Structures are given as structure tokens and as C-alpha cells.
Amino acid sequence: MWTADEIARLCYEHYRISLPKQGKPEPNREWTLLAAVVKIQPIANQTWDSPDKLVQVTKEVVSMGTGTKCIGRSKMRKNGDILNDSHAEVIAKRSFQRYLLHQLHLVAALKQDSIFVPGTQRGLWKLRPDLLFVFFSSHTPCGDASIIPMLECEDQPCCPVRTDWANNPSVEASGNLKPENKRKCEGPDSPVIKKMRLEPGISATEVTNGVAHHQSFGNQESGPIPPNVSSSNLTSGELAAVTGMTPGGARVVDVHRTGAKCVPGEAGDSRMPGVAYHLVGLLRVKPGRGDRTCSMSCSDKLARWNILGCQGALLMHFIEEPIYLSAIVIGKCPYSQEAMQRALIRRCQNVSALPKGFGVQEVKIQQSDLLFEQSRCAVQAKRADSAGRLVPCGAAISWSAVPEQPLDVTANGFPQGATKKEIRSLQARSRISKVELFRSFQKLLSSISEDKWPDSLRVRKLETYQDYKEAASTYQEAWSALRKQAFGSWIRNPPDYHQFK
């Protein structure tokens, strides 16, 4: 039907051909991350010559996002006109919601080319049964999915745990950064990201896109894992990794680390050298530059979408069932199938008592062998010994398969180039901001005669964004069950941030 490489290639081509230069990284100086949603649809009127014949499908990118940034708590606004989280995965998902709203406008106008068909209840539609959606990301999601076992044969972001540290944790690592200790990213030929000189006993961490590239140095040797590593969150395969060996016999000496911080109320990371640095399975928030963010990690958000769907609360007023991703494809990067399964599926697998239509999805997870050309490591490999520091691109691009103004380029949560004076104007709003998606929802509602409204919109008079979200009762019931059973420490914005009309 499709392969991971086909999905990655399609997304990379769409990025190169369909997205303009605006918002893309400056060559040889900046990098970014890419995410997209791909619609998969069987070709009509296929002939079946043999039972083994594969189904032929069309593949179409319906939303795309780039970005590596999110704003701090102090920059959040109560009128919904700023993008709090501009990581590529979140931009792609919000762009997908814009696409879904357009498709609902089509079906409400009785047009035939919508992905929706009439449902069984008044005012509700459902997704055509032959359609699937695949989510693509050029990199492992930040947070829990990025805590990946690192083998002895790999180039390390930090040195293995020393034998003397295992026996005496108070012993500190010492030494200076040397060329042979420099980290290489996604492949054996990729050069180091940044050169640093360290004083004895100091460790260095460079955080970008929620991934911390950590270095601690000294004359170290591989040793036993500290005895207080928690095994309660690990599967048998992960526990084998943490205790030092993979099923194939390779020694696990460390983990790739995430810069996403544990949320208040969760057990904190031990920050011990080596594989004990992180606890796995925890909720995390994305890091900010000084100002702490309220944005949950992409691993946490993808896990939530895997139960609640990608449509959000507002669109549940018009559709019978959540819209789930059938598969997730990750581009070439540090990757662990075990970590992805844990972060996106297993830590929520026991959530139960969900409303009809909701459930924990066994989403298919695959990795492509194709590297994104503007990923951090691809750009670093091209620039070789170029002078200057490699930095993440400050802009985020949103693209949706809609006829009017499909492209949206933002920086710091607002349209790129908007001045402080313009920020209060309607023109200085991203088309995927909360308030603009709410406006599109309200236009959809006004295009439908009131006698055809779904029951959820008839219960009481609704005015604010918060009112409409709360009135989506089945969605809120599912979200409440998920929080109670798995994600109790999830950071939620105060209600006064959702009171706009």
C-alpha cells in the first residue's frame, strides 16, 4: 500500500516544491524540523487479478508544518491570537484541523468532493471509510520518545558511566572536551554540532527543539548501572537495555537525552551519568530560554491525540467519531521503536471507560531511511568547516490543503514581520491560532440552518471559545478519563485564556 520511504519522500518533495522560500532556514546557517499529515486513499475501480495483489493508493499531503520554537509563559495571551507552541508536529496538526474545517464547509454546502459523508445522527458527519491519515515527522518527537538507548558502538553525546562512579556516586567527572569526544548526530559521517571547552567537573548542555545534546567528560570507563534506576516504567526489552545489554549482545552505555523538563507533580529525572539520567514514561514540558513554557512535549501530545483524535474539541460537535492517525512515520534520525511505542501507546494502554468511539489506538509506527535535507545534521554535514554558529530557524511554516491562503509563516507566535503596533490587529494573527480556527468554526456553524445543528450545540447558549469546547461532552469525558488514569499532571491553561468570543 505504502512504505515509510514513500511517505518521507512525498513530504520532502512537497516541502521543496510547494512551499516558498519565506520561512525556510537560511542556507548553511539555520536548520528546522518538518512534520506533515498525508491522506491515503485507495484508487477507485481496481481489478483484483490475484488475492496477493497490493491495493493501489493515492497519497496526498493535506497539511505541513515546520518549526522548533515555543513561547514562554509570560508571552501567552488571553485573546487566543498567538501560537504558544510552534514545534513542527503541533503546526502540522493545527494545519490539519484547518483542512478538516474546510472539508466540513464543503460537506455542509452539499458538495461531493469532501472527505466527510453524512453520519447517522442529526447534524453529524463521519470520515469516508476508505480514507487513512499518516503522520510524518522528520525527527523523533521531543520528550519521552527521544529518550533512546545508546549503544557502545555509537558515537556518544556523553561518556559511559565509570566503574568508580557506580561504586561512589559522589566522584565527579573531570577533564576537558577533546576532538575524539565530539558528538555526531544522525549518522557516522555527520560532524559535530558545536565545539565547546569545558572546565574540570563541568557538563555542557545545548538545548534546541526540546532535545538536550549533553556532554560530560573525563577519563571514564564503562561500568555497572547505578542501583537506584527505576525499573517500574520499563518493559523487559528496555530493562535489558538499562541493565547493560541488548538482545543482540551490544552494550548500552547511555541514552539520547531530551531537553523537555518533567512537569510539576511528576517524579524528577535523576540526572545521574549514563543511562540513569532520565526516568522514562513521564509527562514533560518543552524548554524555553529562561521563561518556562506551558507547552507539553510532542511525545505527550501525540499520545493524547492517539486517544482523543487530532480534530480537537470544537470539531467533535460535527463528527461522529474522533479522527485518528493510522500510522506515524519518522525520518532518519536517532530512533528507537521501543521508545516510540512506550511514549505514544503503552503508557496509556490501560486507559478505559472511554465514551463510544474513543479508544487507545494501535497506531503503526515506522522509520524511514531518508534524511530531511534541512535537518540539523544534514545542514551541519554540508557546511563542513564553515565559520559561524548553526542555529535553529526562528520561523514556523504552516501549510494546509485549502483554496484560500494555504500558507502561514510565523515567528514568535505571530505572522512573520508583524510589528508591535500591528499585533493587536486582525492581520497579525496566524490562520491556525486558536481565535482564527474558532472564527472558521463559527462561520461553519452560521452556514448551517439552526434546525440542522447537532444536539451538543442546542443544550444552552454558547458564547466563548471555552463554552464551545466544554459543550463537546463526549470529547471532554474522554479527556477527563485520560487525565484521571494516565496524564494527571498535564499542564492546562487557566480558563481565562479561553474566554474570547
Active site residues: 89
Contact 142, 87 (CB under 8 A): yes
Distance, in Å, from the CA atom of 88 to the CA atom of 100, rounded to the nearest integer, reads 18
What's the CA gap between 307 and 482, in Å, rounded?
A: 8
Residue 407 sits at φ, ψ, to 5 deg, of: -100, 145
Question: How far apart are the C-alpha atoms of 463 and 345, rounded to whole Å?
Answer: 36
Helix axes 298-308, 337-344, angle to 10 degrees: 60
DSSP line for 304-344 = HHHHH-SSHHHHTTTBSS----SEEEE-SSS--HHHHHHHH
E strand map for 44-106: 57-66, 68-70, 85-87
Report how far residue 291's alpha carbon sits from residue 435's, in angstroms, rounded to the nearest whole number.
24
87 forms beta bridges with: 68
How many beta carbons lie within 10 A of that of residue 491, not counting itself? 15
* Amino acid occupying residue 85: D
Strand pairing report for 391-392 and 30-31: parallel
- Grid cell 444552552 — which residue? 460
Is 64 in contact with 399 (CB distance < 8 Å)?
Answer: yes
Q: Please give the torsion angle defined by the CA atoms of residues 349, 352, 355 and 358, in that order, rounded to the nearest 10 degrees.
A: 10
Total count of residues recorded for the chain = 501
Q: What is the rounded distance in angstroms from the CA atom of residue 247 to the CA atom of residue 242? A: 12
Beta strands in 53-197 (DSSP E): 57-66, 68-70, 85-87, 116-118, 125-127, 132-137, 148-151
Spatial neighbors of 178 by CB under 8 A, at least 6 apart, are 217
Angle between helices 88-108 and 298-308 (to 10 degrees): 30
Give 170's contacts (C-beta < 8 A, 6+ positions apart). Answer: none
Distance CA 85, CA 493 (A): 13
CB 5 within 8 A of CB 330: no
All three cell numbers of 294, joined, read 506551558
